[in-house]
Chain A
Amino acid sequence: MRAATIQLEHGSGGLASQQLIAELFLRHLDNPLLRDLEDSAVLANQPGRLAFTTDSYVVEPIFFPGGDIGKLAVHGTINDLAMRGAHPHCLSLGLILEEGFPMVDLERVVVSIALACREAAVPVVTGDTKVVPRGKADKIFINTSGIGFIPEGIDISSKNAKDGDVLLVSGSIGDHGITIMTRQAGIALQGNLQSDTMPLHRLVATLLAELPQAVHLLRDPTRGGVATTLNEVAAASGLEVHLREEDLPIRPEVRAACELLGLDPLYLANEGKCLLAVAGDAAERALALLRSRPEGREARIIGRLVAGTPGRVVINTPVGGARIVLPLHGIPLPRIC
C-alpha cells in the first residue's frame, strides 16, 4: 500500500523511490524515452540550432485558479523555448519534495504535468526526485529544463528589434500575477480572476510559418511583468519603447483588483502571454495571425519602438501626458493608505 504522505525514503533511491517512479511518474508520464529509466535520455539529432533553457517553480499556493505548479512548470519552460522561435522537443522534470507532503497533492501535480505535456505534445524524458526534511522546503519545488530546435532562417532576439517596429501583446496582461497575489493576501474578490498559464509554442509556430523574417522579437513577460520585460528590450535593442496606455489589454477584474491593492498591472507576472516586435509593414498581418488562434484571440497592438533615447520606456496617458516606465524594484507591495 502506498504511503499517504511523502517520506524521506521516497528520495533515497531505494525501494520506496522505485515504487514512486513506477506507480506515479511512469504511470502518468509514460513514454518510450522515460520508460528506459537510464541515467540520461538519448535523443535523436535534428537539423537546425538547439535551444536549451531551465526554470524553477516555487509558486505559493501550489494550486490556484486557472492552474497549479505542475502546469506552470511545463508551460513556463515550453514558452521560454518558443520565445526564441524554437519548436519545443522535450523536458526534464526535477522535483524537490518536503517530507510530509500529501501523496494526493503530489499525484494531482503529476497528473497536471502529464496533461499539460500531452496537450502540448512535449514529453518529459528524464527526471529526478529528492525529499528534504520537514521545514527545509515548502511542500514542492519543481525544476524543468527544455530542449527545442530552431528552424533554419529563424533568428529571434531582443537585439534584433528595429526602429519602426510595432509592438504587440498576445492578450490581456496581469492575470496570473494578480490571481496569485490576491490568493496570497487571502482576499476573495468577485469576478473571475484566473491565471493565464498556457503554452505559446503553437501560436509562435503559426506566426513564424508565415512571417519568418518580419518577427524580430518575442518575449514572455513573466516575473517583473510587461514593464520590466520592455525595459530589458529597450536596453538590449538600444531603442526607445512607446506605449499607449489605452491600448493595453487589461481585464476589468484585474484592473479592479489592482486598484484595490495599489498595484500596477504593468508589473504583474504573465504565464501565457508574449510581447512581439514586428516590422511595421507586417504588423496588421501578425495581429491577424495571432487572433486566428485561441491563445492570441485578444492580441493587440500596444506601441512601437523608435530611435529616441536608448533604453527608455515611455507610456502615453489618456489625458495627453506621458511618463517613464521603470523596471520593477523589489516586490510590488500594496499601498497602506
Chain B
Amino acid sequence: MKHLDEYRDRDLTGPLVAELRRSVTRPLRVMEVCGTHTMAIFRNGLRTILPEGMELVSGPGCPVCVTSSAHMDAFIAIADRPGVRLAIFGDLFRVPGSSSSLAEAGSRGARIDIVYSPMDALELAAANPNEQVVFFGVGFETTTPGIAATILAAHHRHLDNFLVFATQKTMPAAMTALLSDPQLKIDALLCPGHVSSIIGAAAWQPLADRFGLACVVGGFETADLLKGLTLLARQVGSGQAKVENAYPRAVSWQGNLRAARMVEEIFVPADMAWRGLGTIPLSGLAIRPRYAAHDAMVQLNITLPETAEPKGCRCGDILKGISNPQHCPLFAGRCTPATPIGPCMVSSEGTCAAYFRYGRELNPVAAAPAEPQAGAARREQ
C-alpha cells in the first residue's frame, strides 16, 4: 500500500500537474476508454483542475454498460428456469433489462449468487451437482483469461453442470468501429491499462496508424493519470500519432502471451451486440464447439430476444463519447443510481454513475435518500 501512496503523494503530483498544464499547447479531446479511468479521474478531482483546452470524453470501457438489453433479458429469463442457479459479478445485479432485472428475479425466488471470481462459480457447481450453475461472462480482455481458465478447469474436473453465458468483448475491434463514426471527434486515446496488460500496448498501433490518433496506455493512480495525459498533450502539440506506454510497471509491448493462448484455446472471435453501438463484427468471443458442454447458449438453448433500448436513454451516444450524461433528459431526474434506467447509471464504473456521483461540482446537489442495503448480499450489523 505504501507503493500506492507514492503515486498519490501531493509532493509528487504537484509538479506533474504543473507539467500537464505546460504540455497543453493545442486544444485536444481525449477519450478515456476505460471505465476504471473514468472513475479514477473523478475520484481524484482531476476534471476540476484540467488545463484549459483539454477535454475528457468517456469511452465504452465499462463492461456492464455495454452489455445489450437482449443479453440481459436472455440472462434474466434463465434465472427463472427451475434447477438453474446464477453466478454473477455484483455490478450486474441491478442492471435493468427491458422489463425486469436480476434483483427483481431474485426477489421472485430465482437463485442468484454474487461471486468475486469465476472460480467461485465453479466451486458452487461442484458443491451443488444437482443444479446447473450459469456464470454470466461479462467483460473485456482483462476478465476473459480468468473465465477461460475456469472453463478449462470445469472441463478437466468434468463439472458439466457449470455453464458460461459468454458475452465477452474485445476492445480494439470495438474502438475501430467506434472511431469510424464521423460524428466522433477525438484527438487522443488514453488506452486502458488493465486491458493492455493482457493484449499489450502494441494492440493499439493499428488505431494510431489508421485514425492518426495519439495513444497512451495509462495506469490508474493520480501520478499515472497525469503522466498519461501529459504524454497525450505533447503528442497532439507536436502533431504526432504514436503509441506510448505510460504504465510499464504493468503493461508490456506484447502483453501476456500465456493468457492470450488460454483465451485462444477456449474462445473464438464472434460478432457481438453492444448496448448503444449495435452489433460489431468479430468484437466478441464465443465458446469453441470443443467446450460446448460448458456453453450456456448451447446447453440451455438460448436465443437472444429482440429488445428495444429504453425510451429517452442516451447510453448509446454517451458510450460513444458523442453525448455527455448531462445532455440526457433522464439524467439525475428519472435516472439515478437508486432508480437506474440505462446501464451507464448502474455500474460503479458507468459514465452516468460517475457523473452523478462526482461530476456535478458546479450544480447544487440535493441529497438523495440512501437505500436500504439488500440483506442477502450484505449484512454487517
Residues of A bordering B, CB below 8 Å: 55-60, 72, 76, 176-177, 180-181, 184-187, 222-224, 228, 231-232, 234-235, 246, 252-253, 255-256, 259, 261-262, 264, 269, 271, 309, 311-312, 314-324, 326-337
Contact, CB under 8 Å: B140 / A337? yes
Of all chain B residues, the one with the shortest Cβ separation from A76 is B381
7 A-B residue pairs with Cβ-Cβ distance under 8 Å, sorted by A, are A58-B375, A180-B380, A231-B370, A311-B365, A318-B10, A323-B48, A337-B195
Name the one of B91, B140, B370, B375 contacting A327, with C-beta atoms under 8 angstroms. B370
Contact, CB under 8 Å: A326 / B381? no
B176 within 8 A of A: no
Chain B interface, DSSP helix/strand/loop, else mixed? loop
B100 within 8 A of A: no
B338 within 8 A of A: yes
Contact, CB under 8 Å: B47 / A321? yes
B371 within 8 A of A: yes
Which residues in A have their C-beta under 8 angstroms from that of B368?
A: 326-327, 329
Contact, CB under 8 Å: B8 / A318? yes
**Chain B nearest CB: distance from A39 CB in Å?**
28
Task: State which of B36-44, B286-294, B321-329 sits at the interface with chain A.
Answer: B36-44
Which residues in B have their C-beta under 8 angstroms from that of A223?
A: 373, 380-381
B89 within 8 A of A: yes
B333 within 8 A of A: no
**Chain B nearest CB: distance from A313 CB in Å?**
8
Name the one of A311, A334, A336 contacting B367, with C-beta atoms under 8 angstroms. A311
A56-B381, A264-B43 provided; 15 other pairs, C-beta below 8 A? A58-B381, A223-B381, A224-B370, A252-B1, A252-B2, A259-B4, A320-B45, A323-B48, A324-B358, A324-B361, A329-B337, A333-B348, A334-B89, A334-B90, A337-B139
Knowing A324-B358, A329-B338 are in contact, say whether A319-B381 is a contact too (CB < 8 A). Answer: no
**Chain B nearest CB: distance from A243 CB in Å?**
12
Q: Please, how many angstroms separate the alpha-carbon atoms of A84 and B90 in the complex?
A: 36
B187 within 8 A of A: no
Which residues in A have their C-beta under 8 angstroms from that of B13?
A: 318-320
**Residue of A253, A269, A317 with most partner-chain B CB within 10 A:** A317
**Chain A nearest CB: distance from B31 CB in Å?**
17
Residues of B bordering A, CB below 8 Å: 1-2, 4, 8-10, 13-14, 17, 34-36, 42-49, 63-64, 89-91, 93-94, 114, 116, 120, 138-140, 142-143, 194-195, 222, 226, 336-338, 348-349, 356-361, 364-371, 373-375, 377-381
Contact, CB under 8 Å: A329 / B336? yes
Of all chain B residues, the one with the shortest Cβ separation from A336 is B89
Knowing A333-B348, A336-B91 are in contact, say whether A317-B44 is a contact too (CB < 8 A). Answer: yes
Contact, CB under 8 Å: B357 / A324? yes
Which residues in B have their C-beta under 8 angstroms from that of A320?
A: 10, 13-14, 17, 45, 49
Contact, CB under 8 Å: B49 / A319? yes
Contact, CB under 8 Å: B381 / A269? yes
Which residues in A have their C-beta under 8 angstroms from that of B36?
A: 335, 337
Name the one of B1, B2, B139, B380 contacting A181, with C-beta atoms under 8 angstroms. B380
Contact, CB under 8 Å: B373 / A336? no
Of all chain B residues, the one with the shortest Cβ separation from A231 is B367
Of all chain B residues, the one with the shortest Cβ separation from A264 is B43
Q: Please, how many angstroms separate the alpha-carbon atoms of A222 and B140 in the complex?
A: 35
Q: Please, how many angstroms separate the alpha-carbon atoms of A176 and B369 in the complex?
A: 23
Q: Please, how many angstroms separate the alpha-carbon atoms of A222 and B222 in the complex?
A: 29
